[in-house]
Every structure is written in structure tokens, then in C-alpha cells.
Structure 1
Amino acid sequence: MERERTHASDETRRSGKTKYGLWSNTRFMLDAAWHTAWTVPFVAAVMALTAAGTTLTELFVAPVVLHRIEVHASLGGMLLDIAAFAAGLVALAAVHDYFDQISFSGNVEVRVSIVKRIGLKASGTAYANMLDADFNALEEKSYRNCSGNDAATEKFWRTWTEILTNVFGFVAYLFVLANLSIWMILLVIVTAGVGYAAAKRINEWGYRHREEERARLKRYTYLNDVFGKREYAKDMRILNLRPWILELRNRAFRALLAFYARREANNLWANVIDVALAFARNGIAYAYLIRLTLAQGLTASEFLLYFTAVSGFGMWVTGILDQFAELNKESLELSQIREFLDWPEPYAFEDGEPLKRRPGHAYRITLEHVSFRYPGADRDTLHDVSLDIRPGERLAVVGLNGAGKTTLVKLVCGLLDPTSGRVLVDGVDVRQYDRRDYYALFSAVFQDFSVLDSTVAQNVAQRVDGIDRARVEACLGEAGLMDAVGRLPGGVDAHMGRGVYEDGVELSGGQTQRLMLARALYKDAPVLVLDEPTAALDPIAEDDVYRHYARMTAGRTSVFISHRLASTRFCDRIVFLAGGRIAEEGTHESLLAMGGGYARLFEVQSKYYRDDMNAAAAGDAVAGDDGRSKGSQ
């Protein structure tokens, strides 16, 4: 059923349609504001009223003063009217500016609340979703649509403020023009609509080509940033990459300028059409009002009022259409965010059965005829694998690169679900449980580390407050890292990484491996998973890490993934994967005696180890001879 919903969602995305309309997205934003900064819609409405009120007040200033002159009113009365208008405009401006100032923080608060929701979705979604290119692309778009004050999630409120301002102004001006011919009002509406339609069609060129602009701008920004990146510094100097990168950047810049030139040339026609229609509308209005003046004795103040209202009425109509078009664009971006937030979850989380962790209980993990195929692949990565991980057992899973070892461990940990077959915990299908409860059963050290720029203690405990410092130090000691950490300034409170801290330290590969092991020990989960934890280490450092693993995994269920077979001797059982299947199974000695794929691979690997050791010994001997020769001269 979940797969059907996902497929339907894929079809919706490919068609370019969305189930979230403009009014649905407006309700979404109102709901977001209600739960974070409920005053935001109210502030937008007040700003719209004051802005429209200011324009309407300004409309009457000149006609009223002119009327006072026409009727030969007293200077005092005229000054009183001017003062009243001035006071009204000042009051409206003050109220508008006040609410404009306080609107910023509320708008930002709503946008940030949506960013938090995106982050929670991205960090809490099923791991399988993160393998979906569409999901990742939608996540990137969602963050981009929240990436600044001009992003849809914040600009949305300013757009609605403009819409309400234009609607209030339109209604007010409609009352002013009520005494004129309906045909005059329709003329203004039609010319404004035609101008809007033409401008919209022309100006949409930029919107239709926004991905082209984004791609060109992204390429230029990337190449421009390369010059300051530390990872390029050595090659920039040794290999003299600077002229090459400079030429690429200049080409990207010229391509970007060419795009902007095309866009501005296209937009010029919108301005030409707008000016032509405005000239025609104002000319007809001017002629009509002159006719009324001659035929009906329209006063100069009335003439001025109506002519100004006609010109402004067209602006209100255009403003309403323009802002709704802008709101529609923002609605499309909000739809991307909502589609990401509503992306279906293939696993059970809060709606699954709770799996309470039992202290001291050793869990049994069973793979029952498990096959797995990645989306878009033409064959299974794992096929019909049955494996029983016994409580307290140290199991090694070995094989060549691409044999399916990492996929197997992801299935064991519940990061992936089988395409067919079942993964059981104590005989029960893990898909029935809250997946986060199942995750809690595992401590893991993966080959790709997740070290944050934080303190050593926080990286071990993976929390900010409530850290058991004694336990942190004990785990670092068991992992063989406490001596090195003790020499750091601040000890376990030393800052790690230089992305945030100027005094941050950077650990070596072996030290980072030990830090990850200390983290796994601190969690103290029933099952320990080690996925290629020494892939980047030299044989000496690797041997030292294995000794710590062997000592610390004694008596606990552990799964060790490796392509280096010398590391598996401390394990109780070894599973050799080949071609996505379990090809051989047994102890290190029994598999060597079998003389199969495991034995052949071990022989090849041990030859390299012997060659490395012989070369190192020969190098030491030469160094010793050189030392003696020099000493005898």
C-alpha cells in the first residue's frame, strides 16, 4: 500500500501538477503563523489598511484644496483642511511604519519554524527515502525556498499585504468613480487587464528560464568560490590550476551576463506595452472628462479628482493581478515544501508497536530469505540470504567490494527493508515495531564518520546536557584514546573541528576510529555493528584498533563487516559473501581448510601483507647499513 502511495506521488511530481492550491497553501501558512507568531496575519491586514488609506487620503488633498479656492473659502479654513490632511497622513504613516517594523521578526519566526520542520523531516525520515534522488532534490528545493527574507515562506506575507492594499484601494476608488460612466470604469479595467496579460506573458520568460539562470549562476558561484577553498590550495600552486580555473570562471561569467542581457531585452517590451496602454487610457479619460466639463459643468476640483482616480484605479487593478501572479509563484514553492513534508514514510514510526529495550537481554536477529534491490537497479544486491545472528555472538561478514556487505548491515540495523523476505528480532518481523525503538538496539561504527564541530565529550555522548563525564572518560579509555585526549587543551572539553572553532583540533584517522568506538560504547546498545571501521588505516594502526575491538566485544552480540580477512580471527563465525549470496560460512580455520573463495582471498591478501613487511624490513636494514657506513668513514 505504501509503495502504491509513493508511486502515485512520483506520477504527480513528473506531471508538474500539485495537489496543493493557492488557498490551501494560504491555510498552511496561516496555520504555521498561528502556532508560532499569530499576530503576523493581523499585522499584514493593518499595514494594508494604512497603505490604502494613505493613498486614498492623498487622492483628496489637491481636489479639496482646489475646491476651497473655487468657493473662496477663508484662509483659516483652508489651512485647517491642510493641517487635517497632514495629521491624517502622518498618523497613517506612523501606524504603517510601526507595524512594518514589528512585521519583520514575526515573518522570520514563521519562516524559521518551517525550516525546523524541514530539518526534522530530513533527519527523521526513513533511510530508504534518502536514497531516492527525487526526495533529495525536493529537500534541496525546500531549503532553498526558505533560504532568506525574499524566500516564499517569508515574502508570502508581504505579497498578501500588497494584495489586500490593492483590494482596499480598488474598492475605495470604485466608490469615488461610481458617478462616472460604467464604460469608463470598464475601459480602465480592460486596459489594465490587457497590459497585465501582455506583461505577464513577456515577464514569464525569466520565470520559465529560471532553472537556466540558476544553473549558470550556480556554476559561476562555484568556480568563484574555488579560489578560496583550502582543499584546492595545494593543487592550485603545485599544478598551476589558477589559469585554467580562471578561464572557466570567466566563461561562466560571460554566459551569465548573456542570459541577463536576453532577459532585460525581453522585459523591455513589457514596459513599451504598459506605456502605450497607459497613454491610451489616460487620453480617453482626459477627453471624456473634458466632455463632461463642457456638457455638465464639471468643476476643476472634480475634474482633478476623477482624472487622478481613473489613473490610480488602473494601478489598483494591475496591482491585484500582479500580486496574485506573484502569490501563485510563491504558492508553487510552498507546494514543494509541503510535498517534502508530506512525503510518505515506508516504515512504521510512532504508529508502530513499541519495542521496549530489556536491560541485560541479548536479542536474536534473523534474516529469513532476504533479497534486496536498490531502486532503478537491474539485479538484486542481495539474493535469498538467510542468516541467524545468535545472542552474544561475534559475527564477521566479509567479501570483495560490491559483495553486498554494507547493504546486509543496513538491513540488519533496519535502515533498509528487504525487497522480499523478512528481518526478525526475537522471531518478530521488525516492520511491526516503531523503527526508532529498533534503532535503539544498535550501536554502530560506520566507515563514513559523523563527527560534529563540538567538544570531545559531546561527540562521545551525542548530547549537550546531562553528559556522564566519568563514563565518557571510561569509554575513551576502553577505546584507547584517553591518553591522547588528556593531552589536548581542555581534555574531554576540547573543541573538535575548525569549521566553527578557531582552536578546534583535528584527529588522525586512527584516533577518529577510536572516538567512534567510544561513542558506540557510551550508547551501550545490545548489538554492536562495525562496518569497515579500519578501511582507511595502515596495517599497524588497523591491528591496534582490532585488538581494542576484540577485547571490548567479548560477550556481546556484534557484527563486523570487512573486506580485510586478517581482521576476522577474533570473531566466532565468519560469513563470506559473493555475488550477493552467502557463499561460505564457518570459523577462520574451517574456511581456510575448506580451500574455497575465502581461503583464496586470504592467501592473496596475506601475500600483500608479507610483501609490505618484507619491504619494511629491507628498508630498515638498508638504513642500518648506511648508518654504519657513515659512521666508519
Structure 2
Amino acid sequence: MTQTKQTTQKPAYNVWQNVRFMIGHAWHSCKSVLWLCLAVVGVSLGLNLAQLFIAPMVLARVEQHAPLPQLLGTIGFFALVLAILSGLQGYLKENTMYGRVGVRLSIINAISEKACTTSYPNTRDPVTLKLLEKARYACRSNSRPAEHIWETLTQLLLNLAGFSVYLALVSGLNFGLVLAVAATTAVGFFVSRRINEWGYRHREAEATYQKQIQYVRDKAESIHLAKDIRIFGLGSWVEDLYNSALRLYAAFVNRREKIYTRACAVDAVLTLARNSIAYFYLIRLTLAEGLPASQFLLYFSAFSSFSTWVTGILQQATTLRQESLDLSSIQEYLHLPEPFRFEGGQPIPQSDAYELRLDHVSFRYPGTDRLILRDIDLIIRPGEKIAVVGLNGAGKTTLVKILCGFYDPDEGRVLLNGTDIREFNRQDYYRLFSTVFQESSILDITVAETVAQAVENIDMDRVKDCIAKAGLTEKIESLPQGYGAHIGKNIYLDGIEFSGGQTQRLMLARALYKNGPFLVLDEPTAALDPIAENDIYQKYNEMTTGKSSVFISHRLASTRFCDRILFLKDGVIAEEGTHDQLLAQGGGYAKLFDIQARYYQEGRDLDEIQL
């Protein structure tokens, strides 16, 4: 666990652009946030002025030997004003929270929508994922910039207004003294800021320590790892990791607090110097010119508050600049360019027969030099069943991702009925595919909702039919809530934990329910036992009737059900044909099939065959 090296990168959006972004977002989602900010500024400034004048005014009445009713009237007037303004300030501050939370939630929704709809390559790009993490972090709580910026802007406006009013009040007394107070305040602020910014400059290191602590904690509490922790006796080891992470973080915090203590010491010295200057001048003025005690109190309080306004302006301006960096991450992510067309484009042709072609396609993953697919030329005819086989790393899953439109090829084209799919709206293109991938997204919802991928207008007869075709009817109907049973235990206490094979069957039922013209199965039987696997194969023809299908499998016995088999090797289609044709050729496919067959036969040496 090492400290993260800090890097400096100029943000894509400046402070004004980010403030304008937030104001625009508030204007469309909750306008009251803007008016309440201005109201809080006005009421807070009025309350501050009332607090400034109450003591000098009462003291002035005493110096004037005013009658008791007049003195009490002055006190009562200010007490009433303070009570009204204090109550109004509390009411406004309490009610500002709801609108600010609403604006933050609307930004979270925008980020989530972008994350769910962005082009697939963005979901695998480390730079984009880091940007998404920063954008989400900026919205994580009430104290994060997506909400706290309203407090920053409110306080900045308040300090600017207070500075203007107090400057008008004290500048007529001695402008040199005003400059001295402002200068010592500014020096103290910038010295303290430089020291205090140590924490901000090392925020990524702190986030790394916190992330490490949270990671170990999550793993220790994970229901999925509970068995391993107990069986392998990992409890003490996990505890040591957690304590180690805590010690590193504690050392970081201890170092930070020592640095902050220096800032407090510098601020105390400069505050003492500033107050001494004001005291010295006002005492001399009192002795030399007979300045009344009430005015002495008024001016000294004004000078003290004047320095507070200056400090406040500088602090809030600094905070705004820091928050702007996080807000810039939000804008950068929301305005992230999309490599795919999601608006406009040609409509998908309405047809009962779609032909899909890879026209001399080559592809490498972003940021790498190695070609995963090289000059692939393939036509998938309407209703054709194709199997894609090969060793790990041959490019099978990548081929499927290209067919499904998750990536565009670096060279060549993907054609749907003769048209480059880049001309279509990519979302419309995705609707053509029903898929089962090795990695599946399972939400804690009901079985029926999982199959239909909907919460309303679910065709239960169709759900049951798809469940039956996937071979999961007996399991589902044995559950107390049947098709309404909840999946997973993260939300519902009565949730069901399916086995790996049952989950794959459920995903197969989901693909069948969608009923796209293309069915793509990436290792659909990987988690099934041989008997269950054979059951799926027997139903394969029924499941793919009227559809074009692409079937990836490591178990070559399954490929005999397909019209055509593609044997991939080193990113190219090395062999092509039916199961019997490829066996007759005696090439790589036949050798791989023979190796797999030997696992079920006695007395044969696997080392005899070389691929």
C-alpha cells in the first residue's frame, strides 16, 4: 500500500463555466435554489448589521443619558429585529436543503443515464472509468461540490456584500488603517491557505487509503467470501490487512494535523497583529480627539468584521476554485464524445430475414498493438446456426462483440443487409440481438421481471414458456412465490440465491423472451453438468427456430447441432465447415475434439496429440 503520486492536469472547464453549468441545472430542475441563495444573503447581511449596531447604539443612549423608556425602546427594537431576522435566517437555511438535494439528485441521474447509455468502448476505457468515478465522487454527499457549491456561492455573495458595506463604513475614518487590516488579513490567508492546501494536494493519497480500508472491510463482510474466510482461516490475515491499512491512514492524518497546527499558529500571530493595530489607532483617537466609547466600540467591531469579510471572500473564492475542479469532472463526463451514433441515422430495415456480414474486419483493443481479429470475412445468412470455437485467446468473444456492435472494427465493415451498421442508430441495432454472455447482469428483482426485463405489462405466459425452454420450470415453480420470487439477498430477506447453472438458464430464458432475430450464446452451458448440458443441446434447434444464431463453446460436442463451425486460431478463421467435415479434415478442430473426447475414455494419453 503506497502513497499515490499526485498529478496536475488543467481542467476542461473553468470556474465560471462550472458555476454557469450549476445555475443552468438549477434553473431547469429547481429554481427555488437560486432565489433562496439571494434571500439568505440579504437576511444574513441584515442580521450581521443589526448585531454590529446594537451594542454601540445602546451605549450611545447611555452616554446621552437617555430616559429609561427610550433606552428600553432601543433595546427592544434591536431585540425584535434580531429575533425576526434570526428566525427568518433559520427558516431559509432549513428550506434551502431540499432544493439543493434535488439539484444534486438530478445531476446524479444525468451521470447514471450517461453511464448506462454510453458507447460500450467507454465502459472499458480506464480513463473514462476514472472520470466517472470522479464525477460520482463529486455528488456523493451533501458536503460534496454538486450540492455544497450553493453554500459556497451564498457565502461568497454574503462576504462580498458585507465587505462593500463595511468598507463604506470604515474607509472614511482612516483609509490607511483599512489597507493595513486588509493587508494583514490577506497575508494571513495566503500563508494559511498554502499550509492548509496540503490536504487538498494529497486528496488522492487520502482517497487511496480510504479505498483500501473500505475494500478490505467489504471483502471481510461479503456473503460470497464467508465460506473461504472460514475454511482457509483467513480471518486473522484479513484483520492484519485491515489494521495495516488503518495504521497507514492514521500516519497520514497525523502528518496532516501537524501541518494544520502550523497554519493555526500563523493565523493567531497575524490576528494579534491586526487587532493590535486597530486598538492602537482607536485608543490614540479616543485620547487625542475624545472619540466616544460607543463609536470606539462600533469602529473596532467594524474593523474586526471587515477582516472577517476579507478572509471570507478569499476562503470562499478558494473553495469555489477547488470545487470547480470536481464539477469540471462532472461536465467532462456528461459531455464525453460518443463514438457511436445514438441520435438520427438510418432506420433499421424492417425484414423477416437479416444477413450479417463481416467485411475484411480487423480489430485491436484500444491502447494495444496486438490484432485480436485479422481480416475476418464472414457472412451469417438468415436462419443460419453458427458455432465459434477455438482455444482461449483466439478471438471468439471479440468476434461476437464486433457482430453485436459493441466495438467498431479498426479495418473493414460490419454490414446488416448490405448497409454499414455505423449508419444506423446503435440503440436500434442492439434491439436485433438476444444474448447470453459469460458475465450476466442480475438485479435483485423478481424472476418474472428478470426474464421480461420489465416491471409492467409482463406477458406471463411467454415468461413461463421461455423458462420451460431453458429447463428451469421445476426449480421456479418449487419456490414459495414462484415467478414472483425475488433474486438475491442484498435487498430482500426472502431472496433466492441461484446456482451458476441455474443463473445461466435464467439468462437464456431472458434472451428467449426478448426474441430478437439474432441469438448470441457465449458459453451458455459452461456452468452446467453434462446431463443438463445435453438437455440444452436437445432444445437448441427449438430455441433457434427462425433465428440466426452464433454459439460460442469450449465443448466441441455441442457444435454438431450447428449448420457451420468456425475454428478460430490467432485471430483468423483457420477452419470452416460442419462438425463431420472438420473431423474429416483432421486439422486443429479434429485434434481439439479428440483431446476433449479422451477425458471420457480410458487408457488414452493426452500428450499424444499436439495442436
Please tell me the TM-score bracket, short chain as reference.
over 0.9
Question: When the two structures are superposed, what TM-score results if normalisation uses the length of structure 1?
Answer: 0.92
Contact 1:392–1:558 (8 Å) recurs in 2: yes
What secondary structure is seen at the aligned counterpart in 2 of 1:558?
A: strand
Deviation of the 1:120 alpha carbon: 0.6
- In the alignment, the residues of structure 2 paired with residue 238 and residue 482 of structure 1 have an alpha-carbon distance, to the nearest angstrom, of 34
Report the equivalent of 1:126. 119
1:384 to 347, 371, 375: 375
Aligned-pair CA distance for 1:389: 0.3
- Paired position in structure 2 for 1:570: 561
In 1, Cα distance between the equivalents of 2:287 and 2:17?
52
Question: Paired residue for 2:320?
Answer: 327
- The one-letter code sitting in structure 2 at the alignment partner of 1:283 is S
TM-score by length of 2: 0.96
| Cα pair 1:167 1:316 within 8 Å, conserved | yes
Q: Partners of 1:555 and 1:243 in 2: how far apart?
A: 57
**Does the CA contact (< 8 Å) of 1:447 and 1:534 recur in 2?**
no
Is 1:201 paired with 2:187?
no
Residue in structure 2 matched with residue 437 of structure 1 by the alignment: 428
Q: By how many angstroms is 1:611 displaced?
A: 5.0
C-alpha distance in 2 between matches for 1:184 and 1:355? 76
Note the 1:460-499 alignment, pairs <5 A: 460-499=451-490
Partner of 1:24: 17
Q: Distance in 2 between matches of 1:362 and 1:258?
A: 66
Contact 1:399 1:576 in 2 (8 A): yes
Give the superposition deviation at 1:256. Answer: 1.2
Match of 2:269 in 1: 276
Q: Which residue of 2 aligns with 1:603?
A: 594
The code of the aligned residue for 2:423 comes to Q
Q: Distance in 2 between matches of 1:422 and 1:137?
A: 31
Q: Work out whether residues 355 and 379 of structure 2, in 8 Å CA contact, stay in contact via their aligned partners in 1.
A: yes
Q: Per the alignment, in what secondary structure is the counterpart of residue 323 of structure 1?
A: helix
How far, CA to CA, are the matches of 2:603 and 2:556 in structure 1? 16
In structure 1, distance between residues paired with 2:434 and 2:528: 21
Q: Does structure 1 retain, via aligned residues, the 8 Å contact 2:582–2:589?
A: yes
- For the residue of structure 2 that corresponds to 1:335, the secondary structure is helix
Q: Note the C-alpha offset of 1:612.
A: 12
In the TM superposition, residue 247 of structure 1 has moved relative to its aligned partner by 2.1
Q: 2:398 aligns with which of 380, 385, 407?
A: 407
1:181 is aligned with what amino acid?
Answer: N
User: What does 1:96-107 align with in structure 2 at a 5 Å threshold?
Assistant: 96-107=89-100
Q: How does 1:285-296 map to 2 (within 5 A)?
A: 285-296=278-289
Give the secondary-structure state (helix, strand or coil) at the position aligned to 1:231.
coil
Q: Could you say if the C-alpha distance between residues 43 and 180 of structure 1 is closer, same or farther in structure 2, counting changes exceeding 3 Å?
A: same
Q: Which of the residues 539, 542, 558 maps onto 1:551?
A: 542
Query: Is the alpha carbon distance of 1:502 and 1:142 closer, same or farther for their aligned partners in structure 2, counting shifts above 3 Å?
Result: same
CA distance in 1 between partners of 2:349 and 2:94 (Å): 51
Whether the 8 Å CA contact 2:45–2:158 is kept in 1: the answer is yes
1:66·1:300 contact (CA, 8 Å) conserved in 2? Answer: yes
Call closer, same or farther: CA 1:156–1:357 in 2, change over 3 Å.
farther
1:588 corresponds to: 579
State whether residues 514 and 545 of structure 1, in contact with CA within 8 Å, keep that contact through their aligned partners in structure 2: no
List per-residue Cα deviations over 1:454-484 (Å, max 9, x = no partner): 0111001101111111211122122222232
1:75 corresponding residue in structure 2: 68
Residue type at the aligned position of 1:49: G
Tell me the secondary structure at the aligned position of residue 442 of structure 2.
coil
Q: Secondary structure at the match of 1:367?
A: strand
Q: Name whichever of 151-160 and 528-537 sits farther off.
A: 528-537
Query: 2:387 is paired with a residue of what secondary structure?
Result: strand
**Correspondence for 1:176 among 169, 174, 177:** 169
For the residue of structure 2 that corresponds to 1:247, the secondary structure is helix
Deviations 1:482-518 (A, max 9, x none): 2321221122111111111111112222222221121
Q: Which secondary structure does the structure 2 equivalent of 1:366 belong to? A: strand
- Equivalences for 1:133-144 in 2 at 5 Å? 133-144=126-137
Q: 1:205 to 1:96 in 2, by over 3 A?
A: same
- Selected match of 1:61 from 54, 57, 81: 54
Equivalent residue for 2:293, pick from 291, 300, 320: 300
The equivalent position to 2:235 in structure 1, one of 233, 242, 256, is: 242
Whichever residue aligns with residue 373 of structure 2, its letter is L
Q: Does 1:214 align with 2:207?
A: yes
1:197 deviates by 0.4
- Hey, what does 1:43 align to over in structure 2? 36
Unaligned runs of 5+ in 1: 1-12, 614-633
**Match of residue 149 from structure 1:** 142
2:85 to 92, 95, 106: 92
* SS of corresponding position for 1:230: coil
Shift of 1:396: 0.8
Q: Which amino acid aligns with 2:178?
A: I
Question: Does the 8 Å contact 1:357/1:441 carry over to 2?
Answer: no
Distance 1:254 1:511 in 2: 43
What secondary structure sits across from 1:466 in the alignment? coil
In 1, Cα distance between the equivalents of 2:128 and 2:453?
Answer: 27
Distance in 1, Cα, partners of 2:600 & 2:542: 23
> Deviation of residue 550 (structure 1)?
2.7
Structure 2 matches for 1:513-532, cutoff 5 A? 513-532=504-523
What is the alpha-carbon distance in structure 2 between the residues aligned to residue 149 and residue 611 of structure 1? Answer: 67
Q: 2:145 and 2:20 mapped to 1: Cα distance?
A: 14
Moved more, 514-523 or 189-198: 514-523
From 364, 368, 377, the equivalent of 2:355 is 364
- Return the alpha-carbon distance in structure 2 between the equivalents of residues 219 and 532 of structure 1: 34
Structure-2 change in CA distance of 1:31 and 1:228 (3 Å) = same
> Which of 511, 524, 538 in structure 2 is aligned with 1:533?
524
Alpha carbons 2:56, 2:294 under 8 Å: kept: yes
In the other structure, the counterpart of 2:247 is: 254
Opposite residue 398 of structure 2, the aligned amino acid is: T
Give the alignment's Cα RMSD to 1 decimal: 1.6
- Offset, 1:356: 4.8
Question: What letter is aligned with 2:473?
Answer: M
Structure 2 CA distance, aligned partners of 1:460 and 1:220? 37
The counterpart of 2:225, out of the listed 209, 232, 237, is: 232
Query: 1:226 deviation in Å?
Result: 3.6
What's the counterpart of residue 3 of structure 1?
none
Match of 1:426 among 417, 436, 443: 417
Counterpart among 151, 159, 174 of residue 158 in structure 1: 151
Q: Which residue of 2 aligns with 1:620?
A: none
Q: How far apart in 2 are the matches of 1:330 and 1:473?
A: 52
More moved, 235-244 vs 150-159: 235-244
Task: Establish whether residue 266 from structure 1 lines up as the match of residue 259 from structure 2.
Answer: yes
What is the Cα deviation at residue 551 of structure 1? 2.2
Equivalent residue in structure 2 for 1:191, among 181, 184, 198 = 184
The AA in structure 2 aligned to 1:429 is D
Shift of residue 357, structure 1, vs aligned partner: 4.2
Give the counterpart letter for 1:214 in structure 2. Answer: A
For residue 221 of structure 2, give the secondary structure of its aligned residue in structure 1: coil
The offset of 1:597, in angstroms, is 0.6
Percent identity for Structure 1 against Structure 2: 52
